[in-house]
Amino acid sequence: MELSAREVAAHLSGEVEGDPDVKISGFARIEQGTQGALCFLANPKYEEYLYKTGASIVVANKTFKLRQPVPYTIVWVDDAYRGIATLLDVYATLSVTQKTGRELPTYVSWRAKVGKKCYIGAFAYIAKGAKVGNNVKIFPRVYIGNNATIGDNCILYPGVTVYAGCHVGNNCILHAGAVVGSDGFGFAPDEHKQYKKIPQIGNVVIEDDVELGANTCIDRSTMGSTIIHSGVKLDNLVHIAHNVEIGKNTVMAALTGIAGSSKVGEGCMFGGQSGIIGHLTVGNNVSLTARAGVSSNIKDGETHMGFPNMPIGMYRRSHVVFKNLPDLQKKVLQLEQELNELKHK
């Protein structure tokens, strides 16, 4: 996909200096810019590269003053850093949303319903009873099971699996390898201490504007639904177990795991590798630092860290004591020795 300097300026409300019709087909760092690339300059630390880069277009802050002529086109903007974020979003969106039609081979059941302006990539499989909304982008090797539903304007990247009966809302993005609706981890030991599988007959309900990272897995419930409410953003390799409920606009960094039947409130922020054991309740607007291990309920608005988890202030005070334990041990041993000497006297 290509963008001209004129189009870049229009998206950013910027001013073009140079050829407004020059086009770019990609992005690069300013020190690595080549022909056909767009770069940006927001930090004065990199100003020297304004005169070295080989890029076709540079987006720069209006506050910069050129010390010599440059051979490329400049788009002057108020905030280049914010501008490049806007352009990357536009570029990524257009490169995906322009896809339409059906590649071959694919399988779409005659009993499935597919909306308008959809893209279905090669080797995708849409089972009977499935419903796919309008303007959905289904990349190669996606599997959509029996009676599953996908809302409007969704993007399912390569290798996504949506199991039977699961629901994905509108404007959702499921990155490569994400799995929605795999069996919950339910087994019951018998009299011989062998584990018998408990059937998982529920589903997963994902509401609108949710994004799942690559290889994230959300288990179907034993009964009822595992629920991911609107606006939730999950990073790569996150695992949500059966019967969990995640509140609106909660975000979780990579490798977070939530065990079965726990409830997480709205507006929470979980650091990487944090975890919550089963059957707990985490309130609204709770923050967990990286690698926090939650083994008890957390009230609204608290920040916890450590394993087992504790409020961040208490953890920091405890950590100070923990770091001083070797010195404290020496003092205790010294006091014991002095006490024994006094006893002998």
Strand partners, 26: 37
Q: Judge contact between 212 and 234, C-beta under 8 A.
A: yes
Note whether 222 and 241 are within 8 A (CB): no
242 catalytic per annotation: yes
- Which distant-in-sequence residues (6+ apart) come within 8 Å of 202 by Cβ? 184, 220, 221, 222, 223, 224, 225, 226, 242, 243
Out of 175, 229, 239, 242, which one is annotated catalytic? 242
Sorted by sequence, the CB contacts under 8 Å of residue 160 that are 6+ apart come out as 139, 142, 143, 174, 175, 176, 177, 178, 179, 180
The angle at the Cα of 153, spanning 268 to 24, to the nearest 5 degrees, equals 95
Query: From residue 223, how far is each of 91, 149, 226, 286 by CA, in Å?
Result: 42, 19, 9, 27
CB 276 within 8 A of CB 298: no
Type of residue found at 178: A
- Measured between alpha carbons, how far is 191 from 184 in angstroms, rounded to an integer? 23
Query: Two tokens at 244?
Result: 């969990």
The count of other CB atoms within 10 Å of the CB of residue 321 is: 9
Q: Which residues are catalytic?
A: 242
